[in-house]
Amino acid sequence: MTRVETGIASIGLHLPPLAMPVEELAALRGVDPDKYLIGLGCSEISLCPPEFGIVDLASEAARRALSRWDGELEDIGMIAVGTETAVDMSRPLSAFVAEELGLVGHIRSYEVKHACYGGTLALRQACEWRMSGAARDKAALVVAADIALYEQGDPGEPTQGAGAVAFVVDRPEIATVGLDSHTWSEPAFDFYRPVGESYPRVDGKLSLECYKKAAVECFNALAEGRNPAEVMERFSAICFHVPFPKMVRKAFHLVGEVAGWSAEKVQQLYSEKVEPSMLWNRLSGNSYTASLWIAVANALQGLKPGEQVAAFSYGSGFGSEILSLIAGPRAKDADWAQDIERDIARRGRVDASAYNLLRSSVRTAAA
């Protein structure tokens, strides 16, 4: 088997057709809007109308990624979809997406589940499959897609959102995914959704601690034996899974504190390398598996070949991994940015009363 050059050859993104500013939710819940805007760092919640679901979201991101790739459907040998918005306990979401795309043949098709970490696992598996030679030079289609909804009135409600990212894993024209990643997992019930239940059960405070522990362990492993601040400096961007932007700020500051950086150094690294990558996440809300990869897609825009991006993935339960990506010759084109720009420009605005209506129709559908 021959080892082939591997990485991200094209990117497609999709946000659903509706959004609500968090101030509307604050008014509905009788909460000071600054709690959501400043306390959590949230801006907008992406929402799906009743007739629009996870298959539409994932399939459109996949179509967009395929449209920017110079291969044919016959050149795809794997479709892997990371999600926690599964529509069936047996039939994988990949089968629903493949049906939409007309993807049939000698194809490994499956769904990957590990809360928000599922998309990262799907991407890693696709890269490893190609690099092992088992792919026989076929490409993989990887999708990370989720709709994040909490029970009405749940403290997680302002962090809701939705979004999808698709990658064609082939030659690394946009980025190489480095093989030298670092993992940390530790079983916990911080956030989980038992079979048959519509909404997650969340131990909010525990989830923050688990996320922070995972970040410290992964960043420590990444920097082992080297000066941690110098390791950070070599990245053009440091991306995180973004349940809400303040979580990322808290975790990065803890990583810096543990590494012994001065408060000024932490703030400088955060402002230059972490915060800018969350621009699209502020407009999507938490999109679970897609969240980190929306940040990475934002950070890759315009990079020169050889520039590096760090990507910290976290999924409740919990599992985490830090990866590095190296920009390829087509990162500078950033043609995927237009997906977000168009979706944002076209999407409808939902106010508090429309949100109430929307939630009652979602509840009916889920029942």
Residues recognised as catalytic: 84, 116, 241
Kindly tell me which of 288 and 336 has the beta carbon lying closer to ligand HMG: 288
Kindly tell me which of 44 and 84 has the beta carbon lying closer to ligand HMG: 84
Residues 283-302 that bind ligand HMG (CB under 6 A): 286, 288
Residues 102-121 that bind ligand HMG (CB under 6 A): 115-116
Q: Provide the 3-class DSSP secondary structure of residue 41.
A: coil
Kindly tell me which of 157 and 173 has the beta carbon lying closer to ligand HMG: 157
Residue owning tokens 């790739």: 69
Choosing from 17, 39, 49, 71, the residue that interacts with ligand HMG (CB under 6 A) is 39
Give the x/- contact pattern for ligand HMG in 77-96, rule: CB under 6 A.
-------x------------
Helices (H), the chain: 22-29, 33-34, 54-67, 93-101, 118-132, 204-223, 228-233, 245-259, 263-269, 279-284, 291-300, 337-346, 352-366
Give which of 81, 44, 57 is closest to 278, Cα–Cα: 44
Contact between 235 and 309 under an 8 Å Cβ cutoff? The reply is yes
Q: Which are the contacts of 219, defined by CB distance < 8 A and separation ≥ 6?
A: 228, 255, 259, 312, 322
The region of 8-16, 85-93, 311-319, 343-351 touching ligand HMG under the rule CB under 6 A is: 311-319
Give the x/- contact pattern for ligand HMG in 134-173, rule: CB under 6 A.
---------------------xx--x--------------
Give which of 152, 132, 137, 160 is closest to 46, Cα–Cα: 160
Give which of 90, 66, 67, 95 is closest to 79, Cα–Cα: 95
Q: How far is the CB of 316 from ligand HMG (least distance, A)?
A: 4
Q: Footprint of ligand HMG on this chain (CB under 6 A)?
A: 32, 34-35, 38-40, 84, 115-116, 155-156, 159, 190-191, 202, 204, 207-208, 211, 241, 243-244, 247, 286, 288, 314-316
